[in-house]
Chains A and B, each alone.
Chain A
Amino acid sequence: MNFTLHIWRQKNINIAGDFVTYKIDDIDEDTSFLEMLDQLNEQLIANDEDCIVFDYDCREGICGACSLVINGYPHGDKKATTTCQLYMRDYKHQTELWVEPFRANSFPVIKDLTVDRSSFDSIIQSGGYISVHTGAAPDANAVLVDKPSADEAFNSATCIGCGACVAVCPNASATLYVAAKITHLSLLPQGKIEEKARAQKMLNQMQSEGFGSCSNHRHCERVCPKGISVSNISKMNQVLAWS
């Protein structure tokens, strides 16, 4: 397979970036999208050029490091998939690809396709946890959790913190990310006690990091690689409303 790639190159946040066009040929259809970029980078090294920088790590869809907007969609247009789990066979009919970084003010570009998502860490630091001391927890079966709640908490907890929800949102809101954590912890008896303070602190932090608010576009749910539902946002609003 042969592709024409228009890839966003940007030296750093202070210098404007632009698309640069590359050609890559003889790509096997079982090659992953990131392996295709690896091969392009090998070509660049051979030509004495600086490589295209992009984030990746586990390459199995769980670490949340990879990003990229491909032909307008964060993580490509395949549903419930991270970029690292895309294969070139998925692009049989789209041989011209536009590859950009996740775009949001709260995710400043570091270089090329890499953005700074440390604002997500700051949101967790502001309260996205249960305040338990280490070393003296009660027996694990002392607190029972009904299975439906445990399963639902798990679904919310599968968020990988990639930021696709922000990248696709017209408001660059991180509400789905915040709501998923609030819902995960609120559904469990251990997390119930701090729920309201936690929700307020995390939302305040989200705002001070410069993310926008939710206005119900629901694009976030559509691009979430883990299929996290916007019902998490309703649940968060319930937590905030009950005082």
Chain B
Amino acid sequence: MSSIYAKDPTGPLENRWEKHLFNLSLIAPQNRKKHKVIVIGTGLAGASLCATLGEAGYQVSSFCFQDSPRRAHSIAAQGGINSTKNYQNDGDSVWRLFYDTIKGGDFRARESNVYRLAQLSSNIIDQAVAQGVPFAREYSGYLANRSFGGTQVSRTFYARGQTGQQLLLGAYQAHSRQLENDNVTHQSRSEMLELIMVDDQARGVVVRDLVSGEVSAHTADCVVLCTGGYSNVFYLSTNAKGCNTSATWRAYKQGAYFANPSFTQIHPTCIPPTGENQSKLTLMSESLRNDGRIWAPKNSADCTKNPADIKEEDRDYFLERMYPAFANLAPRDVASRAAKVICDKGLGVGSKIQGKRLGVYLDFSAIIEKLGLDAVAEKYGNLFDMYSSITGENPYQTPMKIYPAPHYTMGGLWVDYNLMTTVEGLFAGGEANFSDHGANRLGASALMQGLADGYFILPKTVANYLAKNTLTEVDNDHPQVVQSLKAVKDRIQKFMKAPQPKHSPEYFHQKLGGILWEACGMSREADRLKQAIVDIAELETQFWQNIKVTGVDNDLNQTLERAGRVVDFIELGKLMCQDALMREESCGAHARVEYLTEGGEAKRDDNEFSFVGAWEFMSEQPKLHKEQLNYEFIEPTVRNYK
């Protein structure tokens, strides 16, 4: 095991980013167009980065696998975005957002980064409003705020239940504006399949045109991955179907360390699965927990009753009972585990799948009585409509049923304070990197991080990298480029021509999801993790033996796309289990049953595990590196929401 360092500035926390900005090198405007940057992914982080770098005058090439950059999965974020504006005068400050984020992440995030994020949160709202993002407003014309899971101040800005959509469209429009300018180019329906390394520096990517199947190399001075998270490793998650780990996984295999892969967030308020053929799960915004009360029947005999027939005294408002201070607003990991405990005890409601009812009620009757139907519809109308179109039930009349589902991944490529990975010239932004959220992300902070990375941090640190390095041009006939292209083409042929083609990519993906959900989901335990590692290795062998892709490779072939993504997920799944096994403590979303209190609370071990676990790819066994986390400003405490 070796140590790695974030290279973050020292001195007073509030001056670090400013001091660092001054020390970063700049490139004069007339020289910027000589530098080329490749950006993969056009969600909040990618689109905002392209817009900012393009405006500054750099040559930017962006790629996304969707048919338009506007469809990146940031679009589905519902609840809101945090900012320290303190417009509500309820005691918010940069320090408080910083503190809440560090504590929410169960003291497994880097102080310097999180403080910077809190500082930048204010600029993001200014930028978005200037772009025309239609945030909710009060009758006075001022911006409205609400409180959001895990906090005691109202610092969340929102656009009904579609905040991610509106912020992404703002960034997409800013990106589109630069596409009119010759410096920026974009290719949709293009998937990155390899990172091109020249002299130990990231110098380009191999991309497959998903329409023609053509594989091509693109070189540049540096590469930025803004490719999102990997919740789909569980098969069923709230992520869009196309979300995948392939770009980050290719980077890992080229030397970028993968940090905290087992830190995956299970979101408490999702619509429970109803059958075995379900393809994805739908999140209901956490904002619903502001006004909805969560309960389950006290007696298992009531689980199949109509909820209206269950008497008040027979209802267990378990979050209010277990966590009186935060009650229904307890952080995501805490609320999810509580729901799981209830359902494991046989007190769940809804459809029975494999012997269990996986659902608890989220009830709005009290707030409807208090505020009236119209006020509730104004606040949550689109979410209620979404729920009723999916389930066929009317949440104005009968409580919603919810259950936790994989939603966000705190883990990702390890990055330093400049958001550069351990590969020179390879940066990672947004959910693709591991930074800022520690072992658990608080609500309304993913949008904030993606935009802080894209609008404000990466444009400065990427420019610094370009200024400090003399990079000679890499031709398309460079041996490394030729070799990377060949590797991609060979791999495609392996998918097309397995020795005994038998099962579709979905088959393997579902198998993997089943293994991971049981062993590396909401609760983890050494023996199950060890068994899962064996099972996943077996699944991987079976994949290469039996993967069946019909059609041809030089064509639009979604089965082929899936095969490539699934096998990367299989490899990642194994690393997640190894990481979870290594971390012999519970922290945030990582709950090892051996390290929980009797009441089910996480038992953190700061003496042994106050570090970021960053894994280096090795052909036999991955190698662990540690970034020690030093808390200079906040003393880690027991995270108590009672």
Contacts and interface: CB of A to CB of B under 8 A. Distances in A.
A60 B211 contact: no
Nearest to B140: A144
Interface string A36-78: 0011011011101111010111111111110000000000000
Contacts of B177: 125, 129, 131
Contacts of A50: 550-552, 557
Contacts, number: 216
Interface residues of B, number: 78
A64 B240 CA distance: 12
- Smallest CB-CB A-B distances: 7 pairs: A144-B141, A129-B173, A50-B551, A137-B130, A154-B134, A137-B126, A140-B129
Interface string A145-161: 11100110110011011
A229 interface: no
B139 A147 contact: yes
A49 B550 contact: yes
B627 interface: no
B555 A126 contact: no
Contact of B172 (A124, A141, A185, A188): A124
Interface in B73-123: 73, 75-76, 85, 87, 123
B389 A85 contact: yes
A160 B131 CA distance: 18
Interface in B446-460: 455-456, 459
B277 interface: yes
Interface of B: 48, 51-52, 55, 66-71, 73, 75-76, 85, 87, 123, 125-132, 134-143, 159-160, 162, 165-166, 169, 172-174, 176-177, 179-180, 188, 211, 240-242, 274-275, 277-280, 282-283, 386, 389-390, 392, 455-456, 459, 504, 506, 548, 550-552, 555-559
Contact of A188 (B71, B87, B134, B241): B134
A31 B241 CA distance: 16
Interface stretch (A115-123, A164-172, A208-216, A234-242): A115-123
B68 A121 contact: yes
22 contacts: A28-B274, A31-B277, A35-B277, A38-B277, A45-B504, A45-B559, A58-B241, A59-B280, A60-B280, A65-B67, A85-B386, A118-B67, A125-B177, A128-B176, A134-B174, A135-B127, A137-B127, A144-B141, A146-B139, A147-B139, A154-B134, A157-B132
A65 B180 CA distance: 24
B173 A139 contact: no
Contacts of A63: 66, 71, 73, 75-76, 240
Contacts of B211: 110-111
B75 A62 contact: yes
Contacts of B392: 30, 87, 89
A162 to B, nearest CB: 10
A143 interface: yes
B127 A60 contact: no
Nearest to A57: B240
Contact of B159 (A55, A89, A140, A154): A154
